[in-house]
Structures are given as structure tokens and as C-alpha cells.
């Protein structure tokens, strides 16, 4: 992008494609369907999105941990979970 | 854009294996310990399933820096452990390029100030600094991103986001699967059917 080294044979089209793909993933742009956003806006939204995904993983880990902890050892639940994990 | 089916299946396989190895479902541990073990399994499974990318290597390297992660990593990566936890580039590269960037930014801003440029140019410099700042933020969020620039960084970020979404998706599915009502129906099927229906959704 900065045209620094001779190794970057990346074309403008490739950059545009990357930006479009990234934009299509971000939650906000899907709702508003804006045209090509500014570089700083794209970066900001990508950062926010990654952070929110990290929070989701953290929350799901909490819930899975709580679920496994409260699992009654003899329940059919525990049995199925164990059989899934054994394979 | 979505992760591939084969990635999701490999992810599930690695995740379950990780759970097995860390004994999260039956070993008695504190809620925090179990949560850390689950999260670690999820991250390693995501990197293993994806294969070789800058962010997967960066993630494994980052995870191996924590003492409490090492025994699990050794267990799950086996003979690969030594090779995959070595950082690829020497750290001398990063401080040097940062110095160059800082120096060039200082020169640029000095030039601009001397010329007493009109308002439009000043906001241009501001916008570039904002991009710089946010690029650095993104570099810190994407594992292994520190040594990437511009296009490669966006490329890795894109791949990382897709994989993270698959991770959230998979863990959500696991959670719902482990809940009681669905289990009554699932308990009637055989194990391969259960696994197939799980990933096929």
C-alpha cells in the first residue's frame, strides 16, 4: 500500500477487494450499506469487531465452564458429553 | 464470507480433543481454571484447524509465553511444540522499523508546519495520523500482526475475523447441544449421527 519494497506487487484491485470483503464482514456496514468507507473508519470498525468477538468467546467460555461444573455426574447429559469427548 | 466446512469439522475435532486432554468435563477444578482451559482449547483448536497463517503462528507463540499454558500445548502439539512456539523473526526488526516510522512522521509534520499549509492539508496530516494510530491498534489485536504492514495486515485481519466468527459459532453450538431438551432427542441417535448433525447445521 505504501509502495515500500519491490516485493509488493499488490494491485489496486486487490486492495479494493480486500477492503470490500472486510467491510462486508463488519456488522455496521451490513446494516447501513455505505459506499467505500475511509481507511480510518474501516480500521476502527475492524478493531471494534475483533474486540467484540473476543468478548463473545470469553463469555461462551464462562458459560461452558459453568455448564460443565454443574453437570450431574450420572445424568444423561453428562453421559452424552462424555461420549462425545471420548471419541 | 464464511469459513469452510472442512475447517469447521477440523475445528470441532481439535476442540473436543483439547477438552479431553485437559479433562475439563470430569476433573475437579475451579470455575476460572475450567474457563481458562476451555478458552485455551478453543484458541489452539482454531489455530490448528486453520493451518499455517501469520496469525495462527502468532497465536500459538503468544499462548506459549504463559507458563500455565505450556504443559497443555506440549500435550496437544506433541512433537510440533518446539517448532511452532519459536518466533519466526528476530525482535530486532520491529524496534528498528518503528524508529524509522517515527522519524519520518516527525520530518513530515515539521515540513508541514514550516510551509504553513492551508486547513485542508492539516486535516490530511491528522487523518494520516489517525490511520497510523488505528493501524497500530489493529496490529496489536491480530496475533502476529506487529510485523505486518498495510495490505498483508488487512489480509490477515480478514482471515482472523472469519476464523473468530467460526469459533464463536462453534462454541455457541456446543453450548446449546449440551443443554437438556435437545439431548433427549439426540440420545436416540448414534454417535456419528450426533456429530454429523452438529456440524451440518
Over residues A47-81, the pLDDT tens digits come to 999 999 999 999 999 999 988 887 655 666 667 77
pLDDT of A82 > 90? The answer is no
Query: What pLDDT is stored for residue B122 in this prediction?
Result: 65
Residue A29 distance to chain B (closest CA, Å): 14
For residue B11, count other CB atoms closer than 10 A to its CB.
24
**B147-201 residue pLDDT tens:** 998 889 999 999 999 999 999 999 999 888 877 555 555 666 666 766 666 665 4
Binding-face residues of B in 11-50 toward A, CB within 8 A: 16, 19-20, 24-26, 31, 34-36, 38-39, 42
Cα distance between residue B76 and residue B49, in whole Å:
13
Interchain proximity A18–B158, CB inside 8 Å: yes
Which segments of chain B have a pLDDT < 70? Answer: 86-123, 180-191, 193-201
Interface check for A62 against chain B (CB to CB < 8 A): the answer is yes
Interface check for B191 against chain A (CB to CB < 8 A): the answer is yes
Give the residue among B58, B153, B100, B21 at the shortest CA–CA distance from A46. Answer: B153
Query: What pLDDT is stored for residue B61 in this prediction?
Result: 92
Best mutation target among A17, A28, A81 (most B Cβ atoms within 10 Å) is A81
Cα distance between residue B6 and residue B12, in whole Å:
10
Query: What pLDDT is stored for residue A61 in this prediction?
Result: 96
Nearest to A57 among B137, B160, B167 (CB): B167
In angstroms, the Cα distances linking A4 to B65, B97, B131, B184 are 32, 12, 17, 60
Interchain proximity A53–B1, CB inside 8 Å: no
pLDDT tier, A1 (very low <50, low <70, confident <90, very high otherwise): very low
Cα distance between residue A25 and residue B186, in whole Å:
33
Give the residue among B142, B70, B37 at the shortest CA–CA distance from A64. Answer: B37
pLDDT tier, A40 (very low <50, low <70, confident <90, very high otherwise): confident
Contact criterion met (CB below 8 Å) for B39 and A57 = yes
Partners of residue A69 in chain B, C-beta under 8 Å: 31, 34
Best mutation target among B132, B183, B185 (most A Cβ atoms within 10 Å) is B183
Instruction: Compute the count of residue pairs across chains A and B with CB atoms less than 8 Å apart.
Output: 133
Maximum Cα–Cα distance across chain B: 78
Amino acid at each position: 500500500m505504501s509502495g515500500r519494497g519491490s516485493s509488493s506487487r499488490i494491485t489496486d484491485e486487490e486492495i479494493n477487494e480486500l477492503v470490500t470483503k472486510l467491510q462486508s464482514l463488519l456488522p455496521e456496514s451490513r446494516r447501513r450499506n455505505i459506499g467505500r468507507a475511509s481507511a480510518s473508519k474501516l480500521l476502527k470498525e475492524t478493531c471494534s469487531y475483533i474486540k467484540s468477538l473476543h468478548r463473545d468467546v470469553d463469555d461462551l467460555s464462562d458459560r461452558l465452564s459453568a455448564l460443565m461444573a454443574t453437570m450431574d455426574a450420572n445424568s444423561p447429559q453428562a453421559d452424552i458429553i462424555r461420549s462425545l469427548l471420548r471419541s | 464470507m464464511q469459513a469452510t466446512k472442512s475447517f469447521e469439522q477440523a475445528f470441532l475435532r481439535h476442540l473436543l480433543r483439547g477438552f479431553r486432554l485437559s479433562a475439563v468435563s470430569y476433573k475437579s477444578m475451579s470455575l476460572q481454571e475450567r474457563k481458562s482451559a476451555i478458552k485455551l482449547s478453543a484458541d489452539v483448536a482454531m489455530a490448528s484447524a486453520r493451518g499455517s497463517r501469520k496469525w495462527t503462528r502468532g497465536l500459538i507463540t503468544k499462548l506459549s509465553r504463559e507458563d500455565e499454558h505450556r504443559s497443555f500445548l506440549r500435550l496437544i502439539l506433541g512433537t510440533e511444540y518446539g517448532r511452532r512456539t519459536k518466533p519466526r523473526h528476530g525482535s530486532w526488526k520491529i524496534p528498528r522499523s518503528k524508529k524509522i516510522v517515527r522519524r519520518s512522521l516527525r520530518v513530515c509534520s515539521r515540513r508541514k508546519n514550516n510551509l504553513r499549509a492551508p486547513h485542508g492539508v492539516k486535516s490530511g496530516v491528522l487523518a494520516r495520523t489517525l490511520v497510523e494510530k488505528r493501524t497500530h491498534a489493529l496490529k496489536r489485536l491480530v496475533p502476529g500482526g506487529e510485523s505486518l504492514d498495510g495490505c498483508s495486515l488487512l489480509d490477515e485481519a480478514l482471515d482472523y475475523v472469519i476464523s473468530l466468527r467460526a469459533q464463536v459459532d462453534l462454541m455457541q453450538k456446543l453450548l446449546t447441544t449440551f443443554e437438556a431438551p435437545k439431548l433427549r432427542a439426540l440420545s436416540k441417535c448414534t454417535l456419528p449421527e450426533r456429530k454429523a448433525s452438529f456440524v451440518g447445521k
